[in-house]
Structure 1
Amino acid sequence: MPGVLIAAAECAPLVKVGGLADVVGALPKYLKKIGVDARIIMPFHRQVKERYGAEAQHLADFQANLGWRTQYVGVEKLDLDGTIVYFIDNEFYFGGPVYCGGDFEGEQYAYFTRAVLDSIPLLDFDVKILHCNDWHTAMMPLLVKTQYAGGVQEGLRTLLTIHNMHFQGQYTHDFYRDVLDIDDGLAFPEFIGQGDCDNMLKAGIVFADKVNTVSPTYAREICDPFRGEGLDGALRSRGGDLVGILNGIDTEVWDPRTDSALPVHFSEKSAWRKAELRGALLDDLGMQPAGKDTAVIGMVGRLTSQKGIDLVRSVLDDLMQEDVRFIMLGAGDREYEDFFRQSEAQYRGRLLSYIGYNGELAHRIYAGCDLFLMPSLFEPCGISQMISMRYGTLPIVRETGGLRDTVVPYDAASGAGNGFSFANYDAAEMLDVIRYALEVWRDAKVRKRLIRQAMESDNSFERCARSYAELYSSLL
């Protein structure tokens, strides 16, 4: 298959702010296993340059036009454990945070857009498909079809993957005319205009050859005015060109048989060893020991309204009347952080809140808890529920986006399922399902079967990569 260039603002393990980085970092590795030469192009962010600058190979440098001015572009190349990563180097734009907000962030990624398109002919790689991700790269399909039409990029096919509709890159038309020479004729609702602004994400939706989201359910949800963030009409207009491909997890990183963060390893056949991990986790965190009927509930993620924290806040006192331990790892909005700090003081020994992020602790929570709570208001895909299942920790989720596509609620009649779910964004409904999950979990025979079924769920990137390979083929 011809070469695929994946353009993104972040990529794990080089730099990670959100789930986008995990997908971009893992996808090329698994595409390579099925014969697809996919490479990454991203900004040479300061923290990446400090760590990998000495290892990177300089390929080219030139001046790119950014409206009325020119800017230096350096093109660097790194072999990262078999995955080729190209970097766009510019100290002015990428010497600070990955995302800095405001007009400068728009200019950062307008520059990145121009630099990537001008760099393609200089790469040691025959690019036939440009795979764009989120608003930071969504202007590329528009420019390919307008300013670069008839040039050396002629015939370049484009795919836009939407990881989160909420972030769109909206700036005034004067801004886009200034930095990218966007024609005034494009500033209309049928193209990229939205209200008083132009919209980067909308540009990608309208002009990309194909558009996909990170789960089938999310692809349907965002075509509805309630979930489409103002772009539902543009999405509906794409018809069959809009598809949903469920993300996966890197099962070589998330592997309970080899995970270096775990004091004890286990598999589907030795899942009883989770009890050892649970005891060690509680002990190391200074929490009260758990009896055989005491369920340990975990949460890992951002503390924002999107993640359903308001539901947790509404019923936490009721939940803590149950025989449970509750462990929360995350950071975000100050009011939610303060709430969990106060709750830890109130339920000391039974509830622990770790404000911030700790990678090793995250691995241990996924492995050492019994139930994993993820009550999101909306969730394009989500990976935490997949990781928890990989480690035999049963997820409790709201039926939205990728959560609905990955978690099969337990059916007592057939014994099928790999977790628990509730339909409505309602605190009482969530509490009822948590109590039901506790009741089911305390049945040792059922628990054993559910843990095995959760661990056997196919949430691998192998499946995800095959779906992307089929989508790439449809572009050619």
Structure 2
Amino acid sequence: GLGDVAGALPASFAARGHRTMVIAPRYLNGTKNDALYEDVEYTGKNITVFLAGEDVTVGLYHLFKDGVDFVFIDHPSYHRDGGPYGNAYGAYGDNLFRFSLLSLVACEVPLQLELGGYNYGDKCVFMANDWHSSLVCVYVASKYRPYGVYKDARTVLCIHNMAHHGTEPSTVFPELSLPNEWYGCVEWVFPEHMRAHELDKGEAVNPLKGALVTCDRILTVSQGYAYEITTPEGGFGLDGLTRGRQHVLNGIVNGVDIDDWNPATDEFIPDHYWPGHMEGKAECKRQLQEELGLQQRPDVPLIGFIGRLDWQKGGDLIQDAVHNHGLLHQDLQLVMLGSGDPEFEDWMAYCESEHQDRFRGWRGFSVPVAHRIIAGCDIILMPSRFEPCGLNQLYAMRYGTVPVAHATGGLKDTIEDFNPYAHEMNGAGTGLTFSPFCEKAMMGSLNQALDTYRHHKDQWAGIQQRGMAQDFSWDRSASQYEQVFRWAMIDQAYA
């Protein structure tokens, strides 16, 4: 989700006339992904900052694409096997250094780097995404504004997942290169039940907390999630702060790339279709069934799940539905694409061996396969415990695939619940949601969807058509971001 935002939203800002820059690490891990930097050029500019008790020098690389300046920060700490945050052994031990370096250099780039003959200057809006760049807000408030720099700039914290704070032991505070009097800004004390032992005081530094108390505005990726992070269940210990700043808290649903996710032109699906010409969707379903080794039956409902196999995504509800509610004893087919919890991956293999004619589990992730599942399935199942925004339901609706989802966060905001009796029995809604979070509620909504698919074809077609008519473009989202930026510039700097 965050990668989609960083790739697509800036281009929409640029198309609307804004000078836009994206700053990110130059990740190199010795895989084919390194080729993504082929067109990126070294600017000849290095920046040195004081961090972790020493001068740290980084190189700046640049790519101008779709009207956006993409600036990549090059440092050895970003060159290693694995992903951006960790590898098979867990999170990297120096993540706080890596992302505080990103944040501090991001504050220097608009001042020092000339692009097109001009730098960006100190009157700008910083949009810091999640804890990884949250220290931008803290650095601007503590190291720049007191000296008259960035006094006309504003910082906006965008929270994509409140569960991740970037906390580290309090002993690392000196490595952040913050003034000593700013310790209270990032100070965090874990509650007793989360401490390692009785002598553990729970003292830590929390970058996300620091951003919440210094940023000028707070955004989340849906209005529903903006509310949820103010509750004890969704605030993960920071709900007191978010409630105290509700007056500057907004939610904006992510968009989708309407060129990449378009059933009329999608390069990854075997046939194309669009509203009023849905024959291609039936062919996509037939070929997906053939690819998966399932019976090629147009009448059987095909259900898909795409996502991480972890606690958040609610895969355990699907397990309960299979074992306790006879889901796979119905005349249907189910395909799951994802990776994560090894025990859940093993369960998928077991389930496939027990229900060879009705279940397929695809371990791992593949963009082309995800496109084919979205296009070929009749229903996308999303039983997430919490979902800040969610993208699969947006993709599904564009492809005439009906989402059945837990009524939480962005899922609740973007899916209008199906009502067959609305508009003189013509129906309304773009999908089905369930609440509370339990297998019985999920099965109730799923069975309603299956009944509608099997016995009320006109109503089903109506759900598909209404979903495909929704506007989830990034341009719609960008206009809402602009309003938040205007509000930020009107208000006085918060810290």
**TM-score, with length taken from structure 1:** 0.92
Report the counterpart of residue 315 of structure 2 in structure 1. 309
Report the counterpart of residue 386 of structure 2 in structure 1. 378
User: For the residues of structure 1 that align with 2:143 and 2:70, how far apart are their CA atoms?
Assistant: 26
Report the counterpart of residue 135 of structure 1 in structure 2. 131
Q: 1:154 to 1:60 in 2, by over 3 A?
A: farther
Q: Give a deviation string over 1:8-32, Cα, whole Å, max 9, x none.
A: xxxxxxxxxxx11011111011122
Alignment of 1:214-253 (within 5 A): 214-253=221-260
Report the counterpart of residue 366 of structure 1 in structure 2. 374
Contact 1:257/1:267 (<8 A) preserved: yes
Pairwise CA distance, 1:38? 2.0
CA RMSD of aligned residues (A): 1.6
User: For the residues of structure 1 that align with 2:34 and 2:380, how far apart are their CA atoms?
Assistant: 36
* Long gaps (5+) in structure 2: 191-202, 490-495
Q: Give a deviation string over 1:139-163, Cα, whole Å, max 9, x none.
A: 1111111112225434221101000
User: For the residues of structure 1 that align with 2:451 and 2:18, how far apart are their CA atoms?
Assistant: 47
Contact 2:162/2:235 (<8 A) preserved: yes
Contact 2:386/2:409 (<8 A) preserved: yes
Q: Give a deviation string over 1:64-111, Cα, whole Å, max 9, x none.
A: 211311112111111234432001111234444311224311111111
Which amino acid letter does the alignment assign opposite residue 167 of structure 1?
Answer: H
User: For the residues of structure 2 that align with 1:151 and 1:93, how far apart are their CA atoms?
Assistant: 32
Pairwise CA distance, 1:63? 2.2
Match of 2:265 among 258, 267, 270: 258
Answering whether residue 148 of structure 2 is matched by residue 175 of structure 1, we say no
User: For the residues of structure 2 that align with 1:105 and 1:205, how far apart are their CA atoms?
Assistant: 20
Answering whether residue 418 of structure 2 is matched by residue 410 of structure 1, we say yes
Give identity over the alignment, percent: 33
User: For the residues of structure 2 that align with 1:54 and 1:296, how far apart are their CA atoms?
Assistant: 41
Report the counterpart of residue 23 of structure 2 in structure 1. 41
Answering whether residue 490 of structure 2 is matched by residue 465 of structure 1, we say no
Alignment of 1:144-223 (within 5 A): 144-149=140-145, 150-177=147-174, 179-188=175-184, 192-195=187-190, 196-223=203-230
Match of 2:3 among 21, 28, 46: 21
Pairwise CA distance, 1:176? 2.4
Report the counterpart of residue 195 of structure 2 in structure 1. none
User: For the residues of structure 2 that align with 1:311 and 1:59, how far apart are their CA atoms?
Assistant: 53
User: How many residues get paired?
Assistant: 455
Report the counterpart of residue 200 of structure 2 in structure 1. none
User: For the residues of structure 1 that align with 2:151 and 2:475, how far apart are their CA atoms?
Assistant: 31
User: For the residues of structure 2 that align with 1:53 and 1:281, how far apart are their CA atoms?
Assistant: 34
Report the counterpart of residue 111 of structure 2 in structure 1. 121
Q: 1:380 to 1:174 in 2, by over 3 A?
A: same
Pairwise CA distance, 1:286? 1.2
User: For the residues of structure 1 that align with 2:35 and 2:290, how far apart are their CA atoms?
Assistant: 38
User: For the residues of structure 2 that align with 1:353 and 1:281, how far apart are their CA atoms?
Assistant: 13
Report the counterpart of residue 452 of structure 2 in structure 1. 440
User: For the residues of structure 2 that align with 1:374 and 1:471, how far apart are their CA atoms?
Assistant: 30
Equivalent residue of 1:305, what SS? coil
Pairwise CA distance, 1:173? 2.4
Answering whether residue 440 of structure 2 is matched by residue 428 of structure 1, we say yes
Q: 1:275 to 1:49 in 2, by over 3 A?
A: closer
User: For the residues of structure 2 that align with 1:176 and 1:137, how far apart are their CA atoms?
Assistant: 16
